[in-house]
Structure formats: structure tokens, C-alpha cells
């Protein structure tokens, strides 16, 4: 059994390989089966969703759940393209702002020496230690105080202050960019602004792609139910959620919705997998 890549065939026993393969196999089944089942459900006609004993694979695969979904969406008085636009706008504006503000801060925090740098770095690390869910109520109050309820801003602007991406980006810049490169650019008379956009950003492309993806995942699934009540401002998952809410008869449609909603982030991840893994490689916490 050739399990290993050549330079790592050290210190391995066949027995261990077998145990590990079995364990990995079980893990893979646990992870993949529900996903696979979701996809199967989406292609089952309604009568196959409620048979006993339940069947795993669709016997007569059909696209009717998807066509029903599009029919239902065509009936809603806000066109589905509007929901899609809302989602894309929220994800796009949220990620763009987070990348622009975050990368500027990450560069300064990684490569500049100024008073308060340590404090800010520690604050950012500290902010990773608690979940945003403990802050939802004051955040809601602040957003309503700012008058952003029922605007895109309520979902977009808080995303700009997300710290995970800045943390990753700062580590990546620290590891990937040598000070001598920056010094050379400074001697040639480049401004810090120029250095950031023309030298640092191209080198750390994997890091900000990762940032975009993390934002994408965060914002794509966000229904924004707390902040948005106008039908024409709701993001796609919200609208799809309303459709699924229609009861048991919509079970097949609901599965179709799940498939559509998961296809988007998974595709984005697949395209950028190598870059993301490269970025996460520098995510370690060094003793500061």
C-alpha cells in the first residue's frame, strides 16, 4: 500500500496505515453522507420524499424541485434578481471594505514601528477570543442609533471591522515580505501608500483572497433578519428561507434551496483552495 509521498515513507507500519485509512474513511462518510443526501433530496420527486422505508438515492431523479423553486420565486413581487443583487452587493461591499481597510491596517501593524502597535495587535488577538454573538445587542442598538436599520450599511459596514482577516493578513505580511524589499522601495522614493498597493498587496494576494472568502462565507449565509425588513433589500438566503417556510409540501424545494446556497461558497472555495491554505499557513500565534 503506497499511502505516503516519497520523502515521508519513514517510520510507518502497515498496520497503522490500515487503522488510519479506516478512521479516515469513517470520518469521510460522516462528513460527506449528509451533504450527499441533501443533493439526493433535491432531485427526488415529491412522492419519493415521503415513502417508507426511506430511500437514499432518488429512483426517478427530477429537476422539478428546482423548476418549482423558480416558479415560486417568479411569483414573488420582488424579482429574484433583486435578492441576488442584494446578496452580491452586501458580500462585495463588505469584503471590499474589509480588504481595503484591513490590509492598510495589517501592513502598518506588520511593518511599521509606532506607539500603540502592540496594544492594537493585542486587541485584535483578544477580539478573536469571544464570539460576535455576545455583542449582538449593543451592536443592534448602535446600528439603530446610527439610523442604519433597513439599509445595506447595517450588514456591510460592521463587516469592515472584522478582525480575523486582519490578523491573518498581518501574519502573512510579517512572514512573506522582507524588510529589505520595503527599504529598497523607500530609498527609491516610493511613498508608503505606493508601497502598500504596488508592492505589498501583489505579494500577499493569497491573504486577501482568503479574506474575501472568509467574508463571503460569513456574509453569504447572513439573513440579516434583525436589520432588514423591506422586501426589496433582503438578501437571497432570507428570501429563500421565506419560500421554505411554506411547509411540508415544500420539502423538495427546501432541499433545492440548500443545494443552491451551498454550491456558491463551495465553488468559491474550490477555486481558491491552494491560496487559502497558503495563507492559513502563517496564521500561527507568535508570542507577542
State which residue, 233 or 252, has the beta carbon closest to another protein: 252
Rule CB under 8 A: which of 60-99 touch another protein?
A: none
Of 57-65, 71-79, 178-186, 255-263, the window that binds another protein (rule: CB under 8 A) is 255-263
Rule CB under 8 A: which of 263-282 touch another protein?
A: 265-266, 269-270, 273-274, 276-282
State which residue, 157 or 203, has the beta carbon closest to another protein: 157
Of 58-66, 73-81, 135-143, 181-189, the window that binds another protein (rule: CB under 8 A) is 135-143
53 binds another protein (CB under 8 A): yes
Q: How far is CA 256 from CA 7, 37, 72, 113, in A?
A: 45, 12, 12, 52
14 binds another protein (CB under 8 A): no
Out of 78, 84, 88, 105, name the contact with another protein by CB under 8 A.
105
Least CB distance from residue 133 to another protein, whole Å? 5
Show the site string, 171-200: x = touches another protein by CB under 8 A, - = not: ---------------------xx--x----
The 3-state DSSP class for residue 10 equals coil
Least CB distance from residue 237 to another protein, whole Å? 6
The DSSP annotation for 166-228 comes to HHHHHHHHHHHS-HHHHHHHHHTT--HHHIIIIIIHHHTHHHHHHHHHHHHHHHHS---TTT-
Question: Contacts from 39-47 at CB under 8 Å and sequence distance 24+?
Answer: 39/259, 41/251, 41/252, 41/255, 42/66, 42/252, 42/255, 42/256, 42/258, 42/259, 44/252, 44/255, 45/252, 46/249, 46/251, 46/252
Amino acid at each position: 500500500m503506497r499511502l505516503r509521498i516519497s520523502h515521508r515513507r519513514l517510520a510507518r507500519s502497515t498496520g497503522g496505515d490500515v487503522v488510519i485509512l479506516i478512521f479516515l474513511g469513517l470520518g469521510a462518510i460522516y462528513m460527506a453522507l449528509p451533504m450527499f443526501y441533501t443533493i439526493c433530496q433535491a432531485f427526488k420527486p415529491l412522492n419519493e420524499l415521503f415513502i417508507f422505508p426511506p430511500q437514499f438515492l432518488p429512483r426517478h431523479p427530477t429537476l422539478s424541485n428546482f423548476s418549482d423553486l423558480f416558479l415560486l420565486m417568479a411569483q414573488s413581487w420582488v424579482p429574484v434578481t433583486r435578492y441576488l443583487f442584494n446578496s452580491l452587493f452586501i458580500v462585495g461591499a463588505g469584503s471590499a471594505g474589509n480588504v481595503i481597510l484591513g490590509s492598510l491596517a495589517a501592513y502598518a501593524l506588520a511593518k511599521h514601528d509606532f506607539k500603540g502597535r502592540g496594544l492594537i495587535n493585542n486587541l485584535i488577538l483578544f477580539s478573536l477570543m469571544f464570539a460576535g454573538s455576545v455583542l449582538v445587542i449593543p451592536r443592534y442598538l448602535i446600528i439603530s442609533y446610527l439610523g442604519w436599520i433597513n439599509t445595506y450599511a447595517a450588514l456591510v459596514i460592521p463587516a469592515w471591522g472584522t478582525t480575523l482577516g486582519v490578523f491573518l493578513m498581518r501574519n502573512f505580511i510579517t512572514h512573506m515580505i522582507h524588510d529589505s524589499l520595503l527599504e529598497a522601495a523607500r530609498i527609491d522614493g516610493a511613498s508608503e501608500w505606493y508601497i502598500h498597493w504596488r508592492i505589498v498587496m501583489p505579494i500577499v494576494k493569497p491573504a486577501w483572497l482568503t479574506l474575501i472568502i472568509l467574508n463571503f462565507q460569513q456574509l453569504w449565509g447572513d439573513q440579516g433578519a434583525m436589520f432588514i425588513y423591506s422586501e426589496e433589500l433582503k438578501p437571497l438566503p432570507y428570501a429563500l428561507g421565506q419560500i421554505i417556510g411554506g411547509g411540508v409540501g415544500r420539502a423538495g424545494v427546501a432541499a433545492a434551496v440548500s443545494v443552491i446556497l451551498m454550491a456558491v461558497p463551495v465553488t468559491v472555495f474550490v477555486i481558491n483552495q491552494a491560496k487559502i491554505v497558503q495563507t492559513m499557513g502563517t496564521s500561527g500565534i507568535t508570542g507577542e
